[in-house]
Amino acid sequence: MNRTLHPVTEAPLRFWHRDAVIERHHIPPDRTLLDLLREDLRLTATKEGCAAGDCGACTVVVAEAVNGQLQYRAVNSCIKPAHAIDGLALWTAADLAQRDGTLHPVQQAMLACHGSQCGFCTPGFVMSLFALYQRTVVQGQAVDKHSAMAALSGNLCRCTGYRPIVQAACSLSAEPAQAVDEKPIVAALDQLAATEKTNGAYLRPSTLSALLQARARHPQSQLIAGATDAGLWITQGLRRLPQIIDLTRVAELRRVKHYPQHIAIGAAVNLQDAFEALAADRPLIAPFGERFAGWPVRQSGTLGGNVANGSPIGDSMPLLIALGAQVVLMAWRKGKAVHRHVPLDQFYTGYRQSLLAPDEVLAWVVVPRPAPGEWLGAYKVSKRQEDDISAVCLAVQLHMANGLITAARIGAGGVAATPARAIKTEAALIGQPWNEATLLAAQTAIQQEFSPLSDLRASADYRRQILGQLLQRAWLESTGHPTVRLEALA
Ligand SMILES: Cc1cc2nc3c(=O)[nH]c(=O)nc-3n(C[C@H](O)[C@H](O)[C@H](O)COP(=O)(O)OP(=O)(O)OC[C@H]3O[C@@H](n4cnc5c(N)ncnc54)[C@H](O)[C@@H]3O)c2cc1C
Ligand code: FES
Ligand code: FES
């Protein structure tokens, strides 16, 4: 689809591709990377399937130079603004084979395992495997089934021929090695990285103060992080975004900071890294995090974007509410940076509405570290195991002493206009023994506390029932009864 008939950005877009720096002028801020590749550059190896970040047909790999090394990410080019790859290196499926035609190990493995099926999905699968190859095989690690499935979790094959593709992934180490020669790319990217864009139609500040000042100057512009929600407004909602502020290069916000009592996750930290940081304190969060979208979305999308977007079916918020998380909102006022802390359970004011002011940026998500004796359960019910948003999400944090529940925090998603805290249900638990009678009272409370809607994901009745079932699951797990985890079966 041609989307060129609207404001252009004056700063050139520059990225490394096939041994050279590509420079393009007058690329509109909301032009997608896929349109840039297929229509402007005529690089048609990358396919368009859903244009919604769902199917993975459009997957390309980008790399950023960090401390003299490249960090590789598979991204959905259909929902990624082209300008988001400024200063990065890019590979498409046409860039893997050597100039003499020798196939890349990933292509060779796909060929050998009969994983190359249709021309729409295969380029995307190959690119997800290429990113996996660079992250693992090149670092001397073998690919096991779990890491193969995780890396391919954002690629759908409509003919359901996944087995040979997973087999190809697991056989990558057996192919003759072929690493990217990173030195010239890192040198080229270091040159490009010097340019910060704080004016024009696509702003890409690299410091927190520059971001806050840009936000203060342009409160009406579209702030984005990974664009895994905002990208769909362009391709599915056909919205024009005449000015974009991209916060992903803001150095201060790309970190997870560890303190004795809490961790602070910067707004530019991607979901994969954010869930890993949370799981370091609470290992149960790792399988919950793997249920969030698929690998490319987790590599681009951010925790801050999930929270700020405020979808009632967003997955991280029930968990963060149960953990007692706060958000730090920052703005540039009267010539200086100001900030305020807001508990997440008080952040939302209505359907996709929050306390965030037009000049504010959600800078940090602050999560308390576990206190001794904490028990946590986090559950997502969706139609697909991966690459799907939840119908219902429930997170339960309990503290117990002498057989009594001393503290309870419950976050719920998919059951109200906003992510919500189940305060009445918590009240039914606190001070009670954690037995079947208390469970029954809590189930009744949670089913009365929310009035879910019926939609294409689930009926209201189903959602209400699931709330009760998930509480029962929490009771079974926290009291040591045997249960079956889908994640374990996978
Ligand atoms: C295929 C697919 C699967 C998905 N699966 C899931 C899923 O399983 N669970 C789930 O919860 N979500 C899912 N999503 C939705 C999306 O990936 C998440 O909401 C993601 O966390 C959004 O983060 P982002 O950085 O991409 O936000 P963006 O798209 O960049 O921004 C989204 C909104 O948040 C605002 N925003 C972003 N960062 C900030 C900030 N720091 N301060 C203020 N405002 C900000 C933007 O202005 C915009 O309004 C899925 C999306 C896709 C395409
Ligand atoms: S075209 Fe389907 S994810 Fe991009
Ligand atoms: S590979 Fe395209 S449908 Fe299966």
Average pLDDT over residues 272-286: 96
Whole-prediction pTM: 0.95
Structure-token match 């429930």, residue found: 394
DSSP codes joined into one string, 200-267: SSEEB-SSHHHHHHHHHH-TTSEEESS-TTHHHHHHTS----S-EEE-TT-GGGG-EEE-SSEEEEET
Structure tokens at 152: 């391919």
In this model, does residue 1 exceed pLDDT 80? no
End-to-end CA distance of the chain: 38
Chain centre distance of CA 320: 15
Q: How many residues does the chain have?
A: 490
DSSP summary character for residue 197: B
Domain-wise residue ranges, the chain: 1-194, 375-490
**Is residue 53 lining ligand 2, measured as CB closer than 6 Å?**
yes
Helix axis angle for 105-112 and 121-135, nearest 10°, is 120
Give the confidence band of 198 by pLDDT, cuts at 50, 70, 90.
confident
**How many angstroms separate the CA atoms of 353 and 346, rounded?**
11
* CB 110, CB 168: distance < 8 Å: yes
In this model, does residue 300 exceed pLDDT 70? yes
Cα 407 to averaged position of ligand 2 atoms, centre (Å): 44
In this model, does residue 490 exceed pLDDT 60? no
Pocket residues: Cβ below 6 A from ligand 1? 53-54, 223-230, 247, 267, 271, 292-293, 297, 300-302, 304-306, 308-309, 314-315, 356, 361-362, 387, 389
Cross-strand bridge partners of residue 14? 23
Report the pLDDT value the prediction gives residue 383, as an integer from 0 to 100: 86
* Fold adopted by 375-490: Enolase-like; domain 1 (3.30.390)
Give the confidence band of 456 by pLDDT, cuts at 50, 70, 90.
confident
- In this chain, the answer to whether the domains covering 1-194 and 375-490 adopt an identical fold is no
* CB 393, CB 380: distance < 8 Å: yes
For residue 121, the ligand closest to its alpha carbon is 3
Report the pLDDT value the prediction gives residue 380, as an integer from 0 to 100: 94
In this model, does residue 9 exceed pLDDT 90? no
**Is residue 157 lining ligand 3, measured as CB closer than 6 Å?**
yes
Structure-token match 């609470």, residue found: 282
* Contacts of residue 101, Cβ cutoff 8 Å, sequence gap at least 6: none
Cross-strand bridge partners of residue 63? 72, 89
**How many angstroms separate the CA atoms of 284 and 316, rounded?**
14
Domain 1-194 = CATH 1.10.110.30: no
**Is residue 425 lining ligand 2, measured as CB closer than 6 Å?**
no
In this model, does residue 4 exceed pLDDT 50? no
Report the pLDDT value the prediction gives residue 5, as an integer from 0 to 100: 46
Give the confidence band of 124 by pLDDT, cuts at 50, 70, 90.
very high
DSSP summary character for residue 313: T
For residue 55, the ligand closest to its alpha carbon is 2
Give the confidence band of 2 by pLDDT, cuts at 50, 70, 90.
very low
Cα 299 to averaged position of ligand 2 atoms, centre (Å): 15
Helix, coil or strand: residue 118: coil
